[in-house]
Amino acid sequence: MNLSAAIISASPYSFFQIASSASSSSKSGLTPANSEDIDAFVFDNPQQQYVVATDAAVAQSGYLETYDMNTSAGSTTTGKSSATLDIDDTSADAASFRLLRSAEDPENDENAAFRSVVVVPNLIELQS
């Protein structure tokens, strides 16, 4: 298997390439489905912050709670996801993302749905 990994400068991710000539008996078990090579970005920084949209307004008490994402298909034309943070389904520690703060977006309406917020992976959930 032709697998190379390099951390790109000070970026918070690693870049992997898996050649189409990779054998199915490789240690990673990763084999391209066709003759194309696979490029993958792996975000492995546990403090990585993500900007996501909410599906409902967030009360002040909702910050530092954990939430999951709503699943949705997105757009095959633009490549943009239409997934949002599921504000109605909150937990102190059991969901995937912890809501930190409102994103620094001048178009944010602090009292509306579909505004930008900053989340981090909920590391407590990963420990169980």
Residues 38 and 78 placed together within one structural domain of the fold: no
Residues 79 and 97 placed together within one structural domain of the fold: yes
Residues 119 and 87 placed together within one structural domain of the fold: yes
Number of domains in the chain: 2
9 — pLDDT class (breaks 50, 70, 90): very low
Q: What is the pLDDT of residues 16-63, one digit of tens each?
A: 555 555 444 444 555 555 556 666 677 777 788 999 999 999 999 999
Residues 34 and 73 placed together within one structural domain of the fold: no
Q: Is 16 exposed, middle or buried, given 0-12, 13-18 or 19+ CB atoms closer than 10 A? A: middle
Residues 77 and 119 placed together within one structural domain of the fold: yes
Calculate the alpha carbon distances from 71 to 55, 59, 85 in Å: 11, 22, 9
Q: What rounded mean pLDDT belongs to the chain? A: 75
Q: What is the pLDDT of residue 86?
A: 93
| CB proximity list for 43: less than 8 A, separation 6 or greater | 12, 13
Residues 85 and 111 placed together within one structural domain of the fold: yes
Residues 55 and 116 placed together within one structural domain of the fold: yes
The answer on pLDDT for 92 being more than 80 is: yes
Q: Which amino acid is at 43?
A: F
Calculate the alpha carbon distances from 114 to 61, 84, 100 in Å: 18, 8, 16
Residues 77 and 97 placed together within one structural domain of the fold: yes
Q: What is the pLDDT of residue 83?
A: 87
66 — pLDDT class (breaks 50, 70, 90): very high
More confident residue, 71 or 19: 71
Q: Give me the sheet containing 97-102, strands edge to edge.
A: 50-53, 116-121, 97-102, 66-69, 85-91
The answer to whether 122 touches 93, Cβ cutoff 8 Å, is yes
* Structural domain boundaries, residue 72: 50-127
